[in-house]
Amino acid sequence: LTKYAANAMLATRISFMNELALLAEKMGADIEHVRHGIGSDPRIGYHFLYAGCGYGGSCFPKDVQALQRTAKEYGEDLKVLNAVEVVNNRQKEVLLEKIVARFGKDLSGKNIALWGLAFKPNTDDMRDAPSRTLIKGLWALGATVTAYDPVAMHETRRIFGDDPRLKLVDTPMDVLPGADALAIVTEWQVFRSPNFDEIKSKLKTPVIFDGRNLYEPASVREQGFEYFAIGRL
């Protein structure tokens, strides 16, 4: 129970911040300011308060669901954890929604460059990874995807096989030529300080959808990009 509770608590913090990020966007607030504000309260702290495009992996989804199943065996309905899972599944759709809002529902002929496939950095684990939801969503709307991840390429090939709608390349910059936009799904260190001039020169249109809030929006926009993050102004 303690182990399940610990991971469920962390998952709850993530989903809570993701819901606040969506609200912040509509209110014209910056979720980073909110994060700094509430994180400065020592009762809360800063850990697992980063908004993004959802959590994945083995531990959080599995343990949230396991705790829910255990509760049902004892006649309890854990409504908070039910909501945590609903929010996370919805959050995995946010990047696709932003892409559709920018380019329209028919993405036929569009190619989206993708940075990151693993559910988090420093692993090749793609279980419940947000990248899988995004790739399938883009395919359903007619788009193709060119993707790069430092270590999860083999796992991606195992999952998706040789589907012609997905091209895997050898470097981060190789995803860009001719792509209609860049989407960032995993916060690998290699993506944090890119050459924005090179990105802009290779993309067909200078548009970035940042699912991990890696950059300062004003700085990226000053370099001529349309920049869409999660809960940031």
- Rg of the chain over Cα atoms, rounded to whole angstroms, equals 18
Helices (DSSP H) in 92-227: which residue ranges?
Answer: 94-103, 130-140, 153-160, 196-202, 217-222
Question: Rounded CA gap, 51 and 22, in Å?
Answer: 9
The long-range contacts involving 8-12, CB below 8 angstroms and separated by at least 24 positions, are 8/60, 8/63, 8/64, 8/67, 8/81, 8/84, 10/47, 10/48, 10/60, 11/55, 11/60, 11/61, 11/63, 11/64, 11/84, 11/88, 12/80, 12/81, 12/84
Q: Residue 123, class by beta-carbon neighbours within 10 Å (0-12 exposed, 13-18 middle, 19+ buried)?
A: middle
* Residue 59 among the catalytic residues: yes
Q: Two tokens at 142?
A: 């007619």
Exactly one of 22, 29, 59, 159 is catalytic; name it: 59
Pairing of strands 144-148, 207-210: unpaired
User: What amino acid positions are annotated as catalytic residues?
Assistant: 59
